[in-house]
Amino acid sequence: MTGEMPGKRRLRLFLLALVLAASLFLEIIVHLFLGVDIVYTHFFYLAIVLAGLWYGMRAVPVGAALGIIHICVTVFQTGTLTASAVSRALMFVAVAAVVGFVAGRIRLEDTRSLLRKEDITPDTRTHDLVKALQSRNADTRYEAAVALGKRGDPETAAPLQEALSDPEPGVRWVAMEALGAIGRPALHTLIPLLSSKDVDTRWGAAIALGDIGDPSAVGPLAAALEDDDRYVRTRAALALAAIGEPALDALGSAADAGSPEARWAAALALGKIGSEAGVPALVRLLSDPDAAVRWKATEALGMIGGDAAVPHLIAALGDPDGGVRSQAAAALAALGEPAIKPLINALGRRECWFGAVDALKAMQEKAVPALLAALERTNRWVRIGAAMILGERGDRRGVDTLLAALSDEDPEVAEAAREILSVGLKKEIDRGA
């Protein structure tokens, strides 16, 4: 029966199975061996009526199965198909259909007592809220699911799971949230939903598991990083991030051996966790063949920050992908003081020069003392980079350094100084116009 509490459901299944077993025993012993085929069949109606009352029209297959068994035993015993056996079998089906239909109508009338959402209050019994999940009114079903979520009763997990098939998306969503509110007792319900054919169910389950934050969900959530749907993968990654350090090993494995999509999701989760223990996996991802994965790993390292991340972000300034270089520069700029000296040094590396300039520019006033000191460096590219940034800020010392570089013995340095000055002059002309 839809919406039943698990304890009551198990008891009913047990009683029905017991009655069915007794019916089969009578069929075999009383009918087949003793040859009595009238009185004992009345006992079949007990099983059929119970199935109809508890399971509605699903009692019809029970009646049909008992009828077929009765016919088979009769044929085996007499060697012929008798009219009385067929009529009794048909009667079983008819009784099951009638009782199931009437019971269904009674339950439908029952739910009409909670057709309005206004009827649902903090004092509404849990049993009534479970019944309200079957209301014809979508608002009532919605409010019932919300109320059940606030109670967090583990016994409501089964009816809430059935509500995940509700035709209204809002009801399905709050039912999933309610399962998350139940906490650990709902894990056995939520974890299998990560393999559902319905994509909304999968990402909803990932969100709920993240809300619970139990480490026992790490394995299934890590597997969901390979889901075909990007949104499911993202939600699984965020759920693993919510679980935190217990998920680091699984995320490291996904970073090393997963698909590009899983590696991207692993980088997302590692950045959200923010633990320096995740830095080694992210550093490995900086060499990933997929530029999107490298970008995400760079972003994640910036989120973690700390001295351990700086040299790797500096290295990412030389990435062949412009997006990765820009992200590395932005991450270093956001780190501030700990990144200034390494960035000044990075000006001396041709592959990192542009990215280092961008990062130091973004730091604005914080980088000025170090840039002024860099004008005295022996490395020409460090001097010209510092001079360029200072010149753009209107600092005369930067302009003087660029003018001096016009006669540098390195033709590349002289040409770079000329280009920087010409760009600055053009800006001044445009500003004056």
pLDDT tens digits, 95-144? 888 888 887 776 665 555 554 566 677 778 888 888 888 888 888 889 88
Predicted pLDDT at 423: 64
| Phi, then psi, of 57 in degrees rounded to 5 | -70, -10
Q: Which residue type, as a one-letter code, is found at position 197?
A: K
Two tokens, residue 93: 């089906």
Asked if 164 and 172 count as a contact pair (C-beta separation under 8 A), the reply is yes
Predicted pLDDT at 288: 96
Where are the chain's structural domains?
6-114
User: What is the pTM for the complete model shown?
Assistant: 0.69
| Phi, then psi, of 25 in degrees rounded to 5 | -60, -45
Residues of the chain with pLDDT under 70: 1-10, 16, 23-43, 106-119, 423-433
Nearest to 209 by CA among 197, 218, 200, 199: 218
Cα–Cα distance for residue pair 222/217, rounded to 1 Å: 9
Two tokens, residue 6: 């698990």
- Which string of DSSP letters, residue by residue, matches 86-125? HHHHHHHHHHHHHHHHHHHHHHHHHHGGG-SGGG--TTS-
Q: Which residue has the tokens 């109809």?
A: 52
Q: How many CB atoms lie within 10 A of CB 184?
A: 12
Q: How many CB atoms lie within 10 A of CB 196?
A: 15
Predicted pLDDT at 432: 45
Virtual torsion, Cα 89, 92, 96, 102, nearest 10 deg? 120
Two tokens, residue 53: 């009352």
Q: Which residue type, as a one-letter code, is found at position 161?
A: Q
Cα–Cα distance for residue pair 170/156, rounded to 1 Å: 18
Two tokens, residue 326: 């820009």
CA angle 103, 106, 111 (to 5 degrees): 125
Q: How would you class 87 by CB atoms within 10 Å of its CB: exposed for 0-12, middle for 13-18, buried for 19 or more?
A: exposed
Asked if 211 and 185 count as a contact pair (C-beta separation under 8 A), the reply is no
CA distances 220 to 11, 117, 237, 267, Å, are: 31, 36, 11, 18
Predicted pLDDT at 243: 97
Rounded to the nearest 10 degrees, what angle do helices 291-304 and 260-273 cross at?
Answer: 10
pLDDT tens digits, 413-423? 778 777 777 76
Q: How would you class 378 by CB atoms within 10 Å of its CB: exposed for 0-12, middle for 13-18, buried for 19 or more?
A: exposed
Predicted pLDDT at 384: 83
Q: Which residue has the tokens 């029966």?
A: 1
Cα–Cα distance for residue pair 122/295, rounded to 1 Å: 49
